[in-house]
A and B are shown apart, each in its own frame.
Chain A
Amino acid sequence: MSYAGVTPTARSRAMVRESRHLLFTVAPGATWIIIFLVLPSAYLMGVAFMTNGPYGLPEMPLSLESFRRLAGFGFLGWSPGNLYTLLRSLWQTLVSTGLVVIVAYPIAYYISTCRAKWRPIMLLLVVVPSWTNQVIRTFGWMNLLAPGTPLSGLAESLGLIAPNMGLYPSNFAVTLGLVYNFLPFMVLPLYAAFEKLDTAQVEAAQDLYASPVRAFWHAVFPQTLPGLLAGIVLVAIPAFGMYVIPELLGGGKGMMLGNLVANQFSGGANWPLGAAGAILMLIATFIGLYAMRRIGKRLGGGEEVVI
């Protein structure tokens, strides 16, 4: 659309009309998100800088006490509990994301090698379990891993767990639950990458490099990298803030940052501390997003990585 040759007033009128159109279409949704998400988040951040009242509710004056508490400093000197929780969250995120990649990569590749008419069905089979509610999926694992079940019996006879105990509750159960929960999030973007795979390049690499491993590394892997990165973002960010799975499968031993934050609100304990934890989670999320974008741009060369 060019306005060349139109008088300035007509042009500005057109621009006003365009702006009004923009306002009309975008304003309702944008306002909605601002009122019901940006403002609440801003309020929550404000809470983090308030003082904890005698019964857990935020009070004036402003203070940095909640961040001190988050770092582990309290009435009783420094204690490592919150640090443990943070490290556990990072560790669980790392391990489960790694495992998800290890499982999803071959699966996505396998699907892309199957006959075209089967592929949608195979993808659907991978995705369908995630359509059931998270609480139900996790409950399924509670059933499977409880003491006395065949899986627990097997682990017991292999000496992996103490007698009479189940595989749940444990940190292992939390990892398993996370992998289960996020597997489809990784398979889908990886599959999309494999489907677009430039086979000519792969064949050339097979001629060029003697070993299939090197051929894979130089020709296949870089092409799937954007999908992999997208998958990692989709898995790692929600895994880091997970609440349901550690709560149900961790049995008090597997507390993660999400539980620490939720406990400060649901136990009537300390809103400002919970809000400070939420800020920490946000920072981690945005660092993760930013890092992925940077790496993605450098490796994928362009706009491939869309979060």
Chain B
Amino acid sequence: MTINKTALALSVGAALLAGSVQAQENKLYLFNWTEYMDPEIIEAFEEKYDVEVVQNYFNSLPEMLSKLQAGGVSQYDIIVPSNYYVPRLIETGLVQKLDKAKLPNFANVMEQFQDPVFDPGAEYTAPYQWGTTGVVYNTETFPDAPKSWSLLFDPEVNPDHPFALMGDGQVSLGGACAYLGHGYDCTDPEGWKEAARLLIETKGRDTFSGFTDGTPALQQLARGVTHIGLSYNGDYLFFKDEDPESFETLDFMIPDEGAEMWVDSMMITSEAPNADMAHKFIDFILDAEVGAQLSNYNYYASPNAAAEPYLDEVLTVPPVQPSEDDMARLRFTPSLEGESLQIFQQLWSEVQSR
């Protein structure tokens, strides 16, 4: 009997403990990319609304989506996905509409972001930052690097230095598409198949070192593990500022065949435990000065028109603001659904397993 009672008491205790650890009083759960938020903004918000902000991070969008599907939908309040994941989040019911009445600062948002293609009327999204995905390479190894995807995909341009592709299959596949002349945002199955074959070939090269997500790719480059990789313009500048010595010989380039431009947006999950506070947070970020502070910290372009006067100089020149020529070549990553998503998944899993 005693053992039974003890076991019972213990399991009750454990249940209580487990419960108390998860009890959410006044907390806001933010699920964001790594290295993407100024801690001072969090502190200011916590002070203003007397709330604790709990931050969790993801390195790639597939990772974020799977966490949401695995129960995160009722545990995170705010997520910060990129444009091409917005439609599938809406369609799967993982996010809720924003209550614009609670977002007076939404008026600060630049016009083109008030009605984005991926979310007409911005019913679900409020823009966070925007930027580009480009090729980061070692200028000592490649003093005359071509402004082209050939740096990654042509073994003659890079015969013997390690390089990495992007962990998010859509970006890697898009790059291959662009190199083959189908454009970064190609979606036709034939073009994709050709691009997938190119990726499999590229993967088979001795110098291929792996599929790496954007932020870690920069760490690898800085440590000399790879000499070419794919990453984001703002992260590149952010880490360059942190470690100027290692980044002195690294440069960021947008291939002439076209590359990715993206917008990351704040969204509220459909079962957010604290949706009201989530609105307050989004409005806080959309404030002119906070928005500028965020961009100044992140080195990403701000979608906030009112923030412009407060932006640092570096945010108004390349690579943060791409040159007009580059701008014309940038494309959104296509948002996939239905059969095209299935085809992409199959091609990508084929690439991964070969």
Contacts and interface: CB of A to CB of B under 8 A. Distances in A.
Are A and B bound to each other? yes
A81 B349 CA distance: 8
Contact of A253 (B62, B92, B203, B337): B203
Interface stretch (A109-117, A226-234, A259-267): A259-267
Interface in B317-354: 337-339, 341-343, 345-347, 349-354
A265 B65 CA distance: 10
Nearest to A86: B353
A226 B208 CA distance: 43
A76 interface: yes
Majority secondary structure of chain B interface residues (helix, strand, loop or mixed): helix
A54 interface: yes
B62 A252 contact: no
Contact of B225 (A147, A163, A263): A147
A118 interface: no
Q: Which bucket holds chain B's interface residue count?
A: 35 or more
B99 interface: no
Given A165-B209, A166-B225, A268-B62, A81 B160 contact: no
B116 interface: no
Interface residues of A, number: 39
Contacts of B349: 81-82, 260, 263, 269
A287 B238 CA distance: 53
Nearest to B337: A54
B353 A85 contact: yes
Contacts of A28: 7
A245 to B, nearest CB: 14
Interface string A159-189: 0011111100100000000000000000000
Contacts of B193: 76
B189 to A, nearest CB: 8
Nearest to B169: A267
A146 interface: yes
A249 to B, nearest CB: 10
B69 A147 contact: no
Nearest to A251: B210
Nearest to A273: B349
Nearest to A250: B210
B208 A253 contact: yes
Interface string A33-60: 0000000000000000000101111000
A164 B162 CA distance: 7
Given A54-B338, A165-B207, A265 B66 contact: yes
Contact of A75 (B62, B162, B339): B339
Interface of B: 4, 7, 62-63, 65-66, 69-70, 88, 91-92, 160-162, 189, 193, 203, 206-211, 224-225, 227, 337-339, 341-343, 345-347, 349-354
Given A55-B88, A79-B346, A269-B345, 17 more contacts: A55-B92, A75-B346, A76-B343, A76-B347, A79-B350, A146-B225, A147-B162, A164-B160, A164-B161, A164-B162, A164-B207, A165-B162, A166-B225, A251-B211, A252-B210, A253-B210, A263-B349
> What 10 A-B pairs come out closest when comparing CB atoms?
A251-B210, A81-B353, A268-B65, A81-B350, A162-B206, A267-B62, A268-B66, A252-B210, A74-B346, A85-B353
